[in-house]
Amino acid sequence: MADIQLQVTAAKGHLFIISGPSGTGKSTIVSAILKKRPQLGYSISFTTRPPRGDEQDGVDYHFISQDTFRKKIDADELAEWAEVHGHLYGTSARYIEETLAGGQDVLLDIDVEGTKRLSARYPEAISVFIAPPTMKELEKRLNRRGTDSAVVVARRLKSAEAEMAQAHCYDHVIVNDDLGKALVELETIIEKVCLNG
């Protein structure tokens, strides 16, 4: 009599990509959702830009040199990478694949170009675009941050217009005119996806 082996495979995790223009509050939303749902894996991006304000290495980003970043590109260690405002940003392929394979859901905070690359590599990913209520409000938020010069703010606003034109490519769009409401909308999206397997 042949031995029958039962193979139990863990359900693969879901990949959630959160994106949107600089200043829309996406980082605040991502931080809040991670506090509410600590079981979510969060991929910390690599970047060559210097830390802003009280940002910490290994918490907000992995801050690395241009040379180290280029080595990661050459070794095919990044699921996506892009140059944004003169700095390089990238996402670890190993982290995503190992975490999803282990059955854990993963959340990424990625720019629009990165989302395109990741969606092509992981077509089952769920993409969410965080939009500002208006461009005027976005300009106010960027100026209120006080971390960028007028030239950089103008550049970010120009980028934001191009990014807003890509919103229709996303599975979901959340307008962040109220942080609490936007957070509930994102949590609802995540819950529905997780419930439906």
Residue ranges per structural domain of the chain: 15-195
Give per-residue burial for 17-33: e unless 16+ CB within 10 Å, then b: bbbbbbbbbbeebbebb
Q: What is the pLDDT along the chain (197 residues), one digit of tens a residue?
A: 444 444 445 578 999 999 998 888 888 999 999 999 999 999 899 999 999 888 999 988 999 999 999 999 999 999 999 887 789 999 999 999 999 999 999 999 888 888 999 999 999 999 999 999 888 888 788 877 767 778 888 888 888 888 989 999 999 999 999 999 999 999 999 999 987 76
The whole-model pTM stands at 0.82
What CA–CA distance (Å, rounded) separates 18 from 128?
5
Domain 15-195 belongs to what architecture? 3-Layer(aba) Sandwich (3.40)
Q: Nearest-5° angle of CA 183, CA 47, CA 170?
A: 40
